[in-house]
Amino acid sequence: MCLWRRLFFSSKPAGSGRKPAAFRKSKPDFSGGPIRMNQSEKPEEMKMRKRERLTAILFFVMLLPLAAQERIDIESVRRAIKRQNASWQAGESWVTRLDSAGQRALLGTRPGPRSPQEALERKIELPPAAAELPASFDWRNHDGDWLTSVKNQGNCGSCWIFSATAQIESWWKIYNDSPLTEIDLSEQHVLSCVATGNCEQGGYIEDALDYAVYYGIPDETCFPYAGRDDKLCSESCADWQSRAESIAGWGYITLQEPTVENIKNALMYHPVSASYIVYEDFYWYSGGVYEYAWGQRLTGHAVLIVGWNDADSSWTCKNSWGPYWGENGYFRIKWGNCGIGKYMPFIYDEVLNVNPLRVTPSSLAFSGNAGDTLALTLNLENTGSGGVEYTLFNDEVPVYWHASNRHSYDGMSWWCGDSAIGGYQNHVLQYLDTPVIDLSSTTSPRLSFQVYYVVEEPGGEPPGWDGWDGCNVWVSTDGGSNFSVVRPTAPEYNAESLWSFGEATEGWNMGNWIPGWVGWLDGWTEADFDLSSFKSSQAVIRFAFASDMGYCTLDDPELIGFLVDDIHVYDGGTTLFENSADETGGMRVKGYGSKPAGWLRAPVSVGRIGPLGDVDLSVIANTHGMAAGHYEGRIRIKVNTLASSIITVPVTMDLVETTHVKEDPSELLLRFTLAQNHPNPFNAGTRVFFEISSPSSITLAVYNTSGRRVAVLYQGPCEAGRHEVRWDGRDVSGRAVSSGLYFLRMQTPSQILTRKMILLR
């Protein structure tokens, strides 16, 4: 499946790439009673009945070892607990009566962050919530009960969703000071609409939280939980968007080290999602403070931490296995046991009514040589009286149409596909337009071209639709302002209503009854169109492709997309326009959608700005391996506000080929560079090396992950050549800073370079 880049939807039935998961296994029925002999039975019938009886007896005899094995398992667990002198109890529950497959289906969180790099960049530091943390704390009994009821995820690995919704529900109750309000969000909506996870393979808590940031999650009655991942996203209630609860953003309060004080401080704001590794003995938990004692390592599980107790060094957690497991659906676990407490995602708890953030400049324009690392600065200013919490996301607008010899008809062909994956991503709309063609004085204008396509097969569409992803041809008579679909004489369109073009939420919202080609074409074929209805001096022909949010080349590598070649517009024997992709010939390409911009990033992407404060953020464009050309992306800034919470900063980048010139060997060492500090990670101190090719004014400073400057290593005029400075891990006041990620930034009047440093105390 496609990641952050696609923002992650699926609306396909079970036959389109994901297998359904049964919600509940049925139990065998042994209630038939004793076997009785019929006196009228014939001898051979009596023999058959005897064999049946013997078979039944043998069947029950075979069951006895299984029952004994269950006893052995629980006794093994209890003995292991006793040997370890642990303080928890093992007992039977509906979970222990499941077979191993059923038990494993209760898990499903993918351990660790989506990427260590993302975790570093999304680390947040929360202000102290209290002058002194209490020895114990529990949101179930803190001037009220701020938790929602314990849910049951059923036979589906959706714990990552239940953990996320549980955090959102409690956050909502605390923010609204409403402990008696029973908010209940739809886990099924997330399961059906976020395609980066499913019942069988599980998913990331972070993906569910990202969905809540961008789209919100509706209430349970909008889409009741079925515990199946083959339910379509479109089965949500029609007004789900107006009923959805959203969050401002989130960041990690811990990284690889499950720092207890960080978690406690965060819990004083609201309960927090957590994940950990499950071992076999955990299924048998019935009370006490759990710590691993027996059994094999399985996989990840996600829960909600709601409190702690210093006396037994434990977290109190809300599970999603129903109220008839553990301590009424809850359990306690030792700090750090089984990895709990690592990479904990925390929802911002302050939401402002207005957006006080001012971003300068309003757009960014990079330019340079292909292969360079470029940098620009964004200034984020908080003009209000409340704290602003921000999250930066970066993406780019994908443009697929390009001339390529891959899958080509002859030489070069126009291919609507991403070369990196060999096809197309989810939710893209791509256009290839001809220049303006004068058809005003024609008699019988026609269009012909060679066509080849392999896109998603039709099947299982909701009523009113008969194709998913598809391609077609449009014509404009006003120079490209307005277009309408034109039908071919051959090969005919094989779909009359394409979901990808027309559906409002998962397609491109053009309405029903947009026809096109779907499935695959058996090799290159000549297409023919009658253009007699489009006799205009301002005609433009458009080749279009659209995909929806649920199935793409990443799911099926055979989906290569849409290709055209030998485009020919003519009237009788007169050629009006032709193009064979060997040259652009005035053809124009345009794309809509988004995908991760691998070349664009902000080293500090999550932070908090105090009232009337501001922060400078570096935005880096790494063009290594990129070709010369024009690129478009954007920085989206999500702010903790209820109004206009996303600020979009358009980004353009123009690259030219690197010009190679002969240089004096003595000058080759004089470069404007900032080397990686050494050692890194470091403890007592680290050395920083940089060089400049000519005298310049520079500032070399250290910033924390909130974007605040903590130390200035050098500031002022600097001679050309190599230089070295040292940082002892202290701030401008001479105080030792805490362990963590820091950013070393070197700035001149024309450029900024950044390196990451890790301090370990």
* Topology of domain 401-593, CATH: Jelly Rolls (2.60.120)
**Domain made up of 357-393+598-656: CATH architecture:** Sandwich (2.60)
- Contact predicate 350/387, CB 8 Å: yes
Percent of the chain with pLDDT over 70: 86
Comma-separated ranges of CATH 3.90.70.10 domains in the chain: 4-23+88-347
More confident residue, 20 or 231: 231
H or E stretch at 309: strand 297-309
Reported as a single tens digit per residue, the pLDDT across 48-63 is: 444 444 444 343 434 3
pLDDT of residue 51: 43
- The confidence score (pLDDT) of residue 174 equals 93
Distinct helix (H) and strand (E) counts, the chain:
8, 38
Name the pLDDT band for 349 (thresholds 50, 70, 90). low
Among 306-310, 417-421, 620-624, 681-685, the minimum mean pLDDT is found in: 681-685
**Mean pLDDT, rounded, for 302-310:** 98
**According to the model, what pLDDT value does residue 28 have?**
29
pLDDT at 152 over 90: yes
List of residues 6+ apart from 423 with CB closer than 8 A: 417, 454, 552, 553, 557, 559, 560, 561
Q: To which residue do tokens 């939401």 refer?
A: 351
pLDDT tens by residue, 497-511? 999 999 987 899 999
pLDDT band at 679 (very low <50, low <70, confident <90, very high): confident
Least confident window among 321-335, 479-493, 657-671: 657-671
Residue with tokens 């992950």: 705
Is pLDDT at 35 greater than 60 in this prediction?
Answer: no
pLDDT over threshold 60, residue 14: no
Percentage of residues of the chain with pLDDT beyond 90: 55
Cα distance between residue 133 and residue 194, in whole Å? 37
Model confidence band, residue 32 (pLDDT cutoffs 50, 70, 90): very low
The β-bridge partners of 688 are 725
Residue 209 identity (one-letter amino acid):
L
Q: Give every CB contact of residue 28 below 8 A, 6+ residues apart in sequence.
A: none
Q: Cβ(268)–Cβ(349) under 8 Å?
A: no
- Residue 678 has a pLDDT of 83
Give start-end residues of each CATH 2.60.40.4070 domain in the chain.
665-759
> Among this protein's residues, is 427 annotated catalytic?
no
More confident residue, 15 or 130: 130
pLDDT in tens, 630-649: 788 889 887 877 555 678 89
Q: What is the mean pLDDT of residues 381-392?
A: 86
Identity at 430, one-letter amino acid code? Q
The arithmetic mean of pLDDT across residues 289-306, rounded, is 96
Could you give the residue ranges of the DSSP H alpha helices within 85-204? 100-104, 116-121, 159-175, 187-193
Considering only 110-114, 297-301, 403-407, 585-589, which range has the smallest mean pLDDT?
110-114
Mean pLDDT of 162-180: 95
pLDDT at 590 over 70: yes
The burial class, CB within 10 Å (0-12 / 13-18 / 19+), for 362 is exposed
213-236: average pLDDT = 94
Summarised one tens digit per residue, pLDDT across range 92-118 is 999 999 999 999 999 999 877 887 767
Residue 533 phi/psi, 5-degree rounding, is -85, 5
Residue whose C-alpha is closest to residue 703's, from 674, 743, 748, 730: 743
Higher pLDDT, 8 or 312: 312
What one-letter code names the amino acid at 610?
A: G
695: confidence class by pLDDT, cuts 50, 70, 90: confident
Separation of alpha carbons 713 and 102, rounded Å? 58
Assess whether pLDDT exceeds 60 at residue 738.
yes
d(CA 440, CA 337): 77
Sign for the CA dihedral angle at 568, 571, 572, 575 comes to negative
Q: Range(s) for CATH 2.60.40.10 in the chain?
A: 357-393+598-656
Instruction: Average the pLDDT over 350-367 and give the result.
Output: 85
Tell me what pLDDT residue 610 has: 84
Q: What is the CATH number of domain 4-23+88-347?
A: 3.90.70.10
568 catalytic per annotation: no
Which pLDDT band holds residue 596 (cuts at 50, 70, 90)?
A: confident
Annotation marks residue 660 as catalytic: no
> Which regions of 547-645 does DSSP assign to beta strands (E)?
561-571, 574-579, 588-592, 595-596, 600-601, 606-609, 614-622, 629-639
Active site residue: 159, 416, 471, 552, which one?
159
Whether the Cβ atoms of residue 5 and residue 553 lie closer than 8 Å to each other: no
115-119, 280-284, 377-381 — which is least confidently predicted? 115-119
Is a pLDDT exceeding 90 seen at residue 756?
Answer: no
pLDDT tens digits for range 700-728: 988 886 667 889 999 888 888 888 899 99
The residue annotated as part of the active site, out of 155, 262, 319, 472, is: 319
CB contact set of 504 (below 8 Å; sequence gap of 6+): none
Q: May I ask the CATH architecture of the domain 665-759?
A: Sandwich (2.60)
Q: Please give the C-alpha separations between residue 229 and each of 190, 215, 269, 505, in angstroms, as whole numbers.
A: 10, 19, 33, 19
Check residue 406 and give its pLDDT: 94
Taking the CB of residue 630, how many other CB atoms lie within 10 A of it? 9
- 3-class SS of residue 106: coil
Which residue has better confidence, 206 or 126? Answer: 206
User: Which member of 301, 317, 416, 472 is catalytic?
Assistant: 301
* Per-residue pLDDT at 563 exceeds 70: yes
Across the chain, what does the average pLDDT equal?
84
Q: What is the pLDDT of residue 15?
A: 35
The pLDDT value recorded for residue 256 is: 83
The whole-angstrom separation of Cα 91 and Cα 106 is 18
Query: How confident is the model over 230-244, as pLDDT tens digits?
Result: 999 999 999 999 999
Distance in angstroms (rounded) separating the CA atoms of residues 759 and 729: 7
Q: Which tokens go with 656?
A: 């030219």
Output the CA–CA distances (angstroms, integers) from residue 745 to 86, 619, 704, in the order listed: 49, 12, 11
Q: Whole-angstrom Cα distance, residue 162 to residue 186? A: 9
The residue among 65 and 484 whose pLDDT is bigger is: 484
484: CB partners within 8 A, 6+ apart: 474, 475, 476
Rounded Cα distance between 438 and 443, Å, is: 12
Q: What pLDDT shows up at residue 511?
A: 95
Instruction: Kindly list the distances between the CA atom of residue 669 and the CA atoms of 129, 134, 371, 442, 624, in Å, as whole numbers in the listed order.
Output: 51, 58, 19, 66, 21
Identify the three-state secondary structure at position 723: strand
CA dist 203 → 209, 362, 391 (Å) = 12, 36, 22
At a CB cut-off of 8 Å and minimum separation 6, what does 643 contact? 353, 354, 355
